[in-house]
Structure 1
């Protein structure tokens, strides 16, 4: 056999071995989710709706509806519409501070949603029990080891550890540090998915070898053909580099604002003014802390809608993770998933 033939044969063997290893490392995550690949779609408000969610699930991953600020009746319709577009498993992401959280949990139970993802802080009293009583598996975000342990004691079924490289609301610690800190401590107790800054399959493979059962990606799916985001929003992603995705700045230390990572534009400056406005209302006693936080959340929801739906990428919020520089083209979800899987398998096969 020629030298080129031997190289080609070696690549096939490496690829086959890598794919077997990938399936082995993802087996626990796939079993937990009921999917072909343990790849969750990040829940992005206005973006992670029926079209993208069903496409991710149909491609072998696990789509997640972003409930965000939706009222119960709207979530009811969104779940029903998603079920009409896929017979594969998908989940629903609920925000813990939503004033109608219990009603949203009941909507998920009504539709027999198999997995509920809680984000935005510690689950309020009774919410974990309410979700588990419906028969759903509960996934929660753990931005620190102490919180991960507390959530496990509380009865969550799986964790997502998401680093500051992610888009949208972020914590202060990088994904690589969180993975090193949390995975060795809790990976044997519950399935753990890693998120934040993942744009290629090689990174997926590395976190799987560290003990994760799967990964979550949001930014990579924004420019999917099936994503309903406005063409202007997608163009902003295609033009951006990692350094363009910056975190918002907390203006007033008395107002606990979770930083948001987005592409730098005029909206990032407008948010500083909004913080000052809300802080003034807090000082005057016009509103209390809970209402202040909700006002900030509603502000972000509106700013994100202007960018995603209306295409106003200057006065709207273009939330994006630092992996945005790895988004090169608009393409079908199935192609994105296949590319990630092939990259991961190749990396594992070359070990």
Structure 2
């Protein structure tokens, strides 16, 4: 693929993606093999969400043995994505909060996933879950410099390892957020502030390990100009994007799910209190209106998919709500979305999206070359190959 200008690749533990763009792992069923393989073929990092992936093996199979269905489903999705993108980089997003977190990590490694991205909790023991000899790279998702230091310090002291990269997810992301509700609008929570702080706290571990730990910015990144800014102003090695990839033809969600983004207005975005105990950003709709009015109560737990969920105290089953939304039944479910979802105005192919992002990135680069003061490079980091022991 020919790009309109030079853009730095993203290196994760020796794997090199031609584009420094990670497609966010979106569940339930929003990013499966279809979307992940399209992004991987195009030169980015495609990511499959492991959340309730077994449900797409068939409801009867899922309810017979959810964990076995999830393992089988995850392996099938990875194999299908690999078939479609044999040379691409494929990752899996596995939430720490999942009840079957440990077996899914093992399954992803056995199936040949290139990278595991792990958040929704601190993946403090992730290295010991990776089978011995497996080449799968491990990337925690954190929301603060404190969490980045805690995870990296634990991995170094217990396993003699550092993360292959870190995703730093800010408060403008969609879905579950790693912030208290009252801190979502705080100046200290802003992604622009968190990225330099994370880079600073992990530098001593880079020096100990003799290798770089790429920092990937996530949450609210929408344009190619945003990508340029995070890479060249704030020192990130790459970006993770979710919302933009929902609005693609290859996204695994139903047309109705995608159309909800097209209809969305800025005022339609809201912060909900999820049954799992975390705030989440979603689009308003009839289901959430009914929840707010006190009309929803679950009649049973569909499957104890998340360790932190107490369905008896919850107004609804989040697993059922997200599966319904993925299928397009928005009367019985809701759509998670990033803070910029209201800006989506069309559905495009993954290739068209990436071409647009690269064109915008190159325009920003050209402007910076003509007026360096416009784009300060303060905070720029050495590339992985430039870090030595």
**TM-score, reference length from structure 2:** 0.74
Q: Does 1:264 align with 2:284?
A: yes
Match of 1:36 in 2: 18
Q: Distance in 2 between matches of 1:58 and 1:64?
A: 12
Give the alignment partner of residue 224 of structure 2, picking from 190, 201, 214.
201
Q: Distance in 2 between matches of 1:200 and 1:118?
A: 25
Change (3 A) 1:247 1:33: farther
1:1-351, aligned counterparts within 5 Å? 19-20=5-6, 23=7, 26-29=8-11, 32-45=14-27, 46-70=29-53, 71-87=70-86, 88-123=88-123, 125=125, 127-131=126-130, 133=132, 134-153=134-153, 154=155, 155-172=162-179, 173-186=189-202, 189-209=212-232, 210-249=234-273, 257-271=277-291, 290=307, 292-293=309-310, 299-309=317-327, 311-351=328-368
CA RMSD of aligned residues (A): 2.9
Q: Distance in 1 between matches of 2:294 and 2:81?
A: 35
Higher relative CO (CA 8 A, sep ≥ 6), structure 1 or 2?
A: 1
Change (3 A) 1:131 1:274: farther
Q: Which runs of 5+ in 1 are unaligned?
A: 1-14, 282-286
Deviation by residue 1:157-189 (Cα, 9 ceiling, x = unmatched): 211111111111113333223224323443665
8 Å CA contact 2:195–2:215 kept in 1: the answer is: no
8 Å CA contact 2:97–2:308 kept in 1: the answer is: no
How much does 1:76 deviate? 1.4
Q: Which runs of 5+ in 2 are unaligned?
A: 54-69, 156-161, 180-188, 207-211, 369-389
Q: Distance in 2 between matches of 1:297 and 1:95?
A: 22
8 Å CA contact 2:138–2:165 kept in 1: the answer is: yes
Q: Distance in 1 between matches of 2:295 and 2:200?
A: 38
Deviation by residue 1:74-98 (Cα, 9 ceiling, x = unmatched): 1111111111111111101111122
Q: Secondary structure at the match of 1:340?
A: helix
**TM-score, reference length from structure 1:** 0.81
Change (3 A) 1:212 1:312: same
8 Å CA contact 2:45–2:91 kept in 1: the answer is: yes
How much does 1:248 deviate? 0.3
Change (3 A) 1:156 1:273: farther
How much does 1:33 deviate? 4.2
8 Å CA contact 2:282–2:334 kept in 1: the answer is: yes
Aligned length: 317
Q: Distance in 2 between matches of 1:327 and 1:292?
A: 32
8 Å CA contact 1:69–1:298 kept in 2: the answer is: no
Deviation by residue 1:261-295 (Cα, 9 ceiling, x = unmatched): 110123224555899969xx9xxxxx9x9463588
Q: Secondary structure at the match of 1:318?
A: coil
Match of 2:65 in 1: none
8 Å CA contact 1:33–1:62 kept in 2: the answer is: no
Structure 1 or 2: more helix by fraction:
1
Q: Distance in 2 between matches of 1:148 and 1:196?
A: 16
Deviation by residue 1:229-253 (Cα, 9 ceiling, x = unmatched): 2222222101213332211037xxx
8 Å CA contact 1:265–1:315 kept in 2: the answer is: no
Q: Distance in 2 between matches of 1:260 and 1:226?
A: 25
How much does 1:49 deviate? 0.5
8 Å CA contact 2:227–2:239 kept in 1: the answer is: yes
